[in-house]
Amino acid sequence: MKISFFAASKFYQMQICKTKLELKQILEPFIREGKLIGFVPTMGALHLGHLSLIEESVKINDITISSVFVNPTQFNNSDDLDKYPSDLEKDVAMLALKGCDYVFAPNADEMYPEKDERQFYFDGIETRMEGEHRPWHFNGVAQIVSKLFAAVPATNAYFGLKDFQQLAIIKHLVKQLSLDINIVSCPTIREKDGLAMSSRNLLLKKEFRKQAPLIYSVLKEVKSKSNHESVEKIKEFVETTFGNHELLKLEYFDIVDDTMLKPIDTFSKEQTSIGCIAVWAGEVRLIDNIQINL
């Protein structure tokens, strides 16, 4: 299906594909001509964070494709999956306005015609932090991303640093599958008050939304403390801050190295580290991270 519209005296056009076959037929001429293909996988309910990835792709690729698919295998809780926000019509309009050329929006049967039994291992990265608290989450991510990469032979694929651990997993996945896809890491886009943009923010009740910027304030304080305080002391500071908080509940905070995501004991000038956090704001789980260089 093709959509076209005028907005702010410009003409926008974009095609929506529902099947892998349709997508294959569309992409064939571009592949034959050696065009640069940019790919931005998403789960929809798009915000400016997602759109920043589209902007990056549009800058250097001949065509940009985005997928909108809420992947059931990466949810370890069916309630979380049911509640996940979705608005394809709005997503499509936002993508078109940013110059995205094609949207791949398959249904679950298209992506999983049969149960995916594959199990992925990433040298332990998949078991730490998010992996520990959301068992099999990254297995689901690897399943869908490998399927999407098979459907979209991208030159460049764009992922957000907001999901730092996911990005590390995807870089490993590309190596494991020997794919010739360049993974581009894009900075986290935030609300004015510092809260990292996330589709889940839509689910936050007012009182929790008001408190949620504390997450990034704490991360910024972690970064400034890293010059003169130990990892242990900084962890205590984070635990105490949230331990005393009425509404926000800390699930984990860890400081890890930026490649294998192993917890570090001491900061060093030679090693970039990342402070990673997950916090419950009522029924909504929020994650964020900050890069620490001494």
Where does this chain bind ligand AMP (CB under 6 A)? 42-43, 49-50, 52-53, 159-160, 162-163, 186, 188-189, 196-199
**Could you tell me whether strands 10-17 and 102-104 are parallel, antiparallel, or unpaired per DSSP bridges?**
parallel
Q: Which of 196, 168, 153, 195 is nearest to 24 (CA)?
A: 153
Helix (H, G, I), strand (E, B) or coil at 38: strand
Q: How far apart are CA 243 and CA 118, in angstroms?
A: 39
Nearer to ligand AMP, 187 or 243 (CB): 187
30 vs 84 by CB, closer to ligand AMP: 84
Residue 244 CA to residue 215 CA, distance in Å, equals 14
Please give the positions annotated as active site: 50
Q: How far is the CB of 162 from ligand AMP (least distance, A)?
A: 4
What amino acid occupies position 56? E
CB neighbour list of residue 211: distance below 8 Å, 6 or more residues apart: 245, 247, 248, 281
Residue with smaller CB distance to ligand AMP, 73 or 188: 188
Nearer to ligand AMP, 51 or 234 (CB): 51
On whether the CB atoms of residues 247 and 280 are closer than 8 A, the answer is: no
Output the smallest distance, CB 51 to ligand AMP, in A.
Answer: 9
Cα 41 from Cα 163, distance rounded (Å):
13
Residue 111 or residue 231: which is nearer to ligand AMP going by CB? 111
In the complex, least distance from residue 144 CB atom to ligand AMP, rounded to whole angstroms: 10
Task: Give the H or E element holding residue 242.
Answer: helix 231-243
